Amino acid sequence: MRVGTHRAITRAAAYATGLRGGPVLEAMLSGVAFPDIHPEEEVQARVSRSGRVYFVRRRIRHHTARNKGRVMRAFLKARKLWLRGKGVEAAYWLGYGLHYLQDSYVNPRNHLRDENEAWGTPLPLNLIANAAKSSNPSPSFVKQVIATAAPMGSGRLALENASVATALIIPAVLADAAPPSTLVEECREMRGMHIVKTALSAAFATAALLALPAFPLLSPILAGAAIAAYVSDGKYREVRGELNWFRH
């Protein structure tokens, strides 16, 4: 995408989130422009025919779905900075991640044609406004948005999808430091069962170890019970993970 498109999408999505100017918005716009103004390289390990490992420097590709890890890392960094009160730095890294996320909607095969079409298409302001309202401050929500990013069939579709994704992400990353009360409540309710399950899991695991020499047939059953108690506690770990979005 052209750098002007990246900036326009980001500005409109920030506007829909209530961010209408100031240093935070400026930092987000310079973050979203950075990868085009200073193309980045990464070092990749290769193995030669003789089995020797060597390293090559390669330009980071933009129009690819392979930057999902880079995007999530940038958003996590932004989130932590935001919670620490470093709004300008946070916005910069949020913008940086948004650049690669927006580009992942562009089809690499027609990228020039599509990026010109995107540049000539008006921003989907209604979609942006609706997306900003449907956002959800949670790490699994952010991950889901990143996971569903894929190359589109036209420049217009790339623009629309990148706009919606951007408007979903900005409010999720720049959300208040206070977690939604429903999430806190859910975690508190599950806490009791979590303690029971952790204790059960530990007890079965110990029993499995103790039973091993004398009852080799019983041991795997006990180990299985330990694993089952751990797995059934997965929902608690999930809720805890959601709460971590609010801890710096």
- Residue 225 Cβ vs Zn ion, minimum distance, rounded to whole Å: 52
Interface positions with Zn ion (CB under 5 A): 62, 103
- Shortest distance in whole angstroms from residue 99 CB to Zn ion: 6
- Alpha-carbon dihedral angle through residues 93, 94, 96, 102, given to the nearest 10 degrees: 170
| Nearest CB to Zn ion, comparing residues 62 and 70 | 62
Question: Nearest CA to 169 among 90, 243, 235?
Answer: 90
Phi, psi (rounded to 5 degrees) for 55: -120, 140
Q: Which residue lies nearer to Zn ion by CB, 103 or 242?
A: 103
Distance (Å, whole) CA 200 – CA 183:
25
E strand or H helix at 42, and its extent? strand 41-47
Stretch (H or E) spanning 224: helix 219-231
Distance CA 16, CA 33 (A): 20
Residue 189 CB, shortest distance to Zn ion, in Å, is 45
Cβ-closest residue to Zn ion? 62
Q: Nearest distance from residue 63's CB to Zn ion, in Å?
A: 7
